[in-house]
Amino acid sequence: MNGDTARTRQAWSVLIVSTWAFTVCFMVWMMFGVIGIPIRQMLNLNATQFGLLTATPVLTGSLVRVPLGIWTDRYGGRIVMTLLMAATVPAIWLMAYATQFWHFLVIGLFVGLAGGSFSVGTPYVARWFPKQRQGMAMGVYGAGNSGSAVNKFVAPVILVAFGWQMVPQVYAAIMAGTVLLFWLFSHSDPAHLVPNQVGFAQQLQALRDPRVLKYCQYYSIVFGGYVALALWMVQYYIGEYGLDIRLAALLAAC
């Protein structure tokens, strides 16, 4: 009984700290949705360049999801998530010192790694719960998407008070603290790992299933549309209605 209680506590600890980590990662991933506005003005970017700026982190976050999922199966979500978040901290901090368009594009590629946290945390969290409760666990973890709204509440306040450069510095500090918090309160279970005899090619076999490809397309449309709107709405409200960035971000968050 004591073993079951300890296991349950570990499962809930993993769920809570992973959801927090995902929220922070999503907040960072959507950062350009707010600070991209003053950056566009500073660099005098046109609409195409601004779209490229905001899309760069999304590109990386999308491309790394499959390998991150494979590594999570192979090495475990605790170590993969920790290393993933830690890798983004220097890039987030350097954002404050970027001065040219290509600086932001290159740094944005590394910041975009945070978007891959979805494919790490989902299987990591699910495996800590029995099948009949995995939907609940993944639903709670998926609520970390609210990091997009958190970004729209936090970033405009910092931006107006201290300038846009302070936003990535604060976010880097938050991410660094989250790395430590996640490592301290998450757990690992060797039983959750894919056996060593399962090769890389075997892990990719699921991609041959037409149903998997179909669901990938559903996901790209639904989630892709959500991400696109989350990044563009602040700029839209400011450009079309001349709203203050704080009000525009509030409306976009709602």
Residue 2 has pLDDT above 70, yes or no: no
Helix, strand, coil share of the chain (percent; to 5) = 85, 0, 15
Neighbour tally for 95: CB within 10 Å? 26
pLDDT band at residue 165 under the 50/70/90 scheme: very high
Instruction: Say what the pTM is.
Output: 0.92
Cα–Cα nearest to 125, from 85, 86, 81, 89: 81
Report whether pLDDT(198) > 80. Answer: no
Cα four-point dihedral sign 152, 121, 220, 62: positive
Amino acid of residue 219: Y
pLDDT of residue 4: 80
pLDDT value of residue 21: 98
Please determine, for residue 192, whether its predicted confidence score (pLDDT) is greater than 80. yes
* Domains of the chain (ranges, CATH numbers): 2-253 (1.20.1250.20)
Q: What angle do CA 155, 112, 13 make, to 5 degrees?
A: 80
Q: What's the rounded Cα separation, in Å, for the pair 125 and 172?
A: 24
List pLDDT tens digits, range 216-236. Answer: 899 899 989 989 998 999 999
Mean pLDDT (the chain, rounded): 93
Q: How far apart are CA 31 and CA 175, in angstroms?
A: 13
**pLDDT at res. 184:** 97
The yes-or-no verdict on residue 242 having pLDDT over 80 is yes
- What pLDDT is stored for residue 206 in this prediction? 83
Question: What spatial distance separates the first Cα and last Cα of the chain, rounded to whole Å?
Answer: 45
Q: Is the pLDDT of residue 1 over 80?
A: no
